[in-house]
Amino acid sequence: MVTRASAVVRAMLGGRIFLGAVITAFVVQAGWLALVARTSIYDEDYHLAAVDAFAGDLTPFLDQRPDVGPVGDVERYPSYLYHYLLSFPWRATSGWQPDDRMVLLRLFSVAMVAAGLVLWHRVVRSMTGSAPVAGVTVMLVSMSPLLVTIAAVVNYDNLLFLLVAAFSAVAVRLWGEPRELRGWLALLALASVTALTKYSALPFLAVVVVLLVVRAVRSADRWSRVRATWTDLLLVAAALVGLALAVERYVVNLVRFGTPFPDCGAVQPLETCMSWGPWGRNYEADAGFDDLPLTAGTAGVYAARVWAPRVLWLWNAVGVDGGAETFTSNGPAVAGLISLVTVVAGAALLVLLAPLVLRVSGAAPLLLGTAAFVAALFWTNLHDYLAMGQPIGVHARYLLTFLPIVVGPLVAVLAEVLRPASGWRELLVVLALAVGTQGAGASAFMVVSSAEWWRPVPALVAIQEDLSGLLRHIVLEDLVAEPRPDPRSVAPGP
């Protein structure tokens, strides 16, 4: 009886109906937040201003005007693709109210992340050969409160989520067929546009590409040929255009400024850079602080007392800019406990099962690329801390894009380890769904927010009040005390 029930559950988890239900639930939640929430704390004002800057020209090659807005440098900044693409619907709706235009761009962002989840399903299925594992992975990732919140706002991390999924899909295919020339053309095109979406993805892209090159060199297979078909010609064109755009931004920057990603102050006048809040904050903080020395002890203390606690603290963070006041919350404490236990347990299992996880087909280059990304992010955060004496850019949201790369192989290995224990795998999935009622997805925002968080649209506010009231009866906000370490109460030490 148990075996038959397990087979039914596995078939359900691996089916298209389940995947469709997961994606639909995600779109409904993120779409609702896109409609109801005020401007997000996650740099949404900046991203809207950057989109508006690109709306003045049909090409991404700007001659930046002094009055372009509080965006710092967008003339030579490498991470422009998201803003440039969204400048077209922004330009087409110039007669709309600003809030309505913002909502439209938000819905484009929701679509990007939803498409990314579909692609991640394909990636995980290709790696593991298991549709149920792929379905569970997408379900778990889509339940992240932070992912739903970010997807619902104008932010370039949403396009990055989609492009990294597409890049990973091609990389996994090339891992199995390392001399498949079409795959290499697609990989080159995707690597280029991903780098132009957010330059912080470069360590991930570089490590994956290098490992694939090594595998291709060692392969005994023959190289496939490109044929004179429309598909192959489009791949060649996409690779050439992507490479040309990457060269225009990164190589030209290197020649002109001595670095692929020049600081705003090297490109624009000081007053232009100071108008962009984060740059002005960093400029003043750096000028008023004597740099700390880099030592192993300093790095260790920073990692243990600042970086890790802050990442854990902000894993469920939500918030809006209410105009005169900013409203923020880390979600219900019970959701914080679930996140803390999940992250710690997941990290421990990843270490313990690393040999098995790395043996999942195609997982090794993606996991090593993710490790390179995290290392580069930590190094950047540490460098800023030593220069300014405060944590800058330390947030869990920067890790979201690569979450499926870790979750997918880990779910596959756990499913294999638990195979002899009949029914346990399916029970854990049901448990995950039950636990998800306590602050997963949009419910974190819905439970902690109030009228000040919502756009002043009476019809939306009325529905939101009813939904929030209902969810407050489901989510047990005060079930536990806040379990996450508050980095504001943890002294960084010498």
What's the distance, Cα to Cα, between the start and end of the chain in Å? Answer: 61
Return the structure tokens found at 212.
């694939």
- pLDDT tens, the chain, 494 aa long: 556 666 777 788 889 999 999 999 999 999 999 999 999 999 999 999 999 999 989 999 998 987 787 899 999 999 999 999 999 999 999 999 999 999 999 999 999 999 999 999 999 999 999 999 999 999 999 999 999 999 999 999 999 999 999 999 999 999 999 999 999 999 999 999 999 999 999 999 999 999 999 999 998 888 888 787 888 899 999 999 999 999 999 999 999 999 999 999 999 999 999 989 899 999 999 998 999 999 999 999 999 999 998 888 888 889 999 877 899 888 888 888 888 888 889 989 999 999 999 999 999 999 999 999 999 999 999 999 999 998 988 999 999 999 999 999 999 999 888 877 666 666 777 778 777 888 889 998 999 999 999 999 999 999 999 999 999 989 886 666 566 656 555 445 44
* Distant-in-sequence, close-in-space partners of 148: CB < 8 Å, separation ≥ 6: 26, 29, 30, 33, 142, 441, 442, 445
Helical H segments across 196-247, by residue range: 202-218, 230-246
What CA–CA distance (Å, rounded) separates 427 from 414? 13
Distance between alpha carbon 172 and the CA centroid of its chain, in Å?
A: 20
Buried b (16+ CB within 10 A) or exposed e, 132-150: bbbbbbbbbbbbbbbbbbb
In the chain, the largest separation of any two C-alpha atoms, in whole Å, equals: 73
* pLDDT for position 491: 46
- Please report where in the chains the tokens 């979201």 appear, as a residue: 400
Instruction: Take residue 455 and report the two structure tokens written for it.
Output: 């756009």
> Which one-letter DSSP state was computed for residue 69?
-
Report the alpha-carbon distance of residue 1 to residue 258 in Å, rounded: 68
Q: How far is CA 473 from CA 18, 35, 148, in A?
A: 27, 23, 21
SS3 326: strand
Q: Is residue 271 classed as helix, strand or coil in its secondary structure? A: helix
Q: What's the pLDDT at 436?
A: 82
Integer CA distances (angstroms), 438 to 173, 314, 337, 403, in order: 37, 17, 10, 20
Give the count of beta carbons closer than 10 Å to the beta carbon of residue 391: 19
Task: Tell me what pLDDT residue 181 has.
Answer: 94
Q: Where are the alpha helices (DSSP H) in 333-487?
A: 333-352, 354-358, 363-388, 403-417, 424-435, 443-448, 458-474
Plot region of 129 (φ>0 → left; ψ -120 to 50 → alpha; else → beta): left
Residues sharing a CB contact under 8 Å with residue 322, sequence separation 6 or more, in sequence order: 38, 452, 453
| Burial of residue 290, with CB atoms counted within 10 A of its CB: 0-12 exposed, 13-18 middle, 19 or more buried | exposed
Q: Report residue 486: phi and psi, to 5°.
A: -85, 115
Pair of tokens at residue 321? 């800019």
Q: Nearest Cα to 329, choosing from 57, 63, 37?
A: 37
Tokens of 324: 């005169």
Radius of gyration over alpha carbons of the chain, in Å? 23
- Contact status, residue 236 vs residue 226, Cβ threshold 8 Å: yes
Whole-structure pTM value: 0.94
pLDDT at 418: 81
Give, as one character, the DSSP assignment of residue 487: G
Residues 33, 147 contacting (CB under 8 angstroms): no
In whole angstroms, give the CA distance from residue 488 to residue 480: 20
pLDDT of residue 255: 97
Number of Cβ within 10 Å of residue 3's Cβ equals 9
Concatenating the DSSP letter of every residue in 447-477 gives HH--GGGB-S-HHHHHHHHHHHHHHHHHS-T
CA angle 155, 156, 159 (to 5 degrees): 120
Amino acid 493: pLDDT: 47
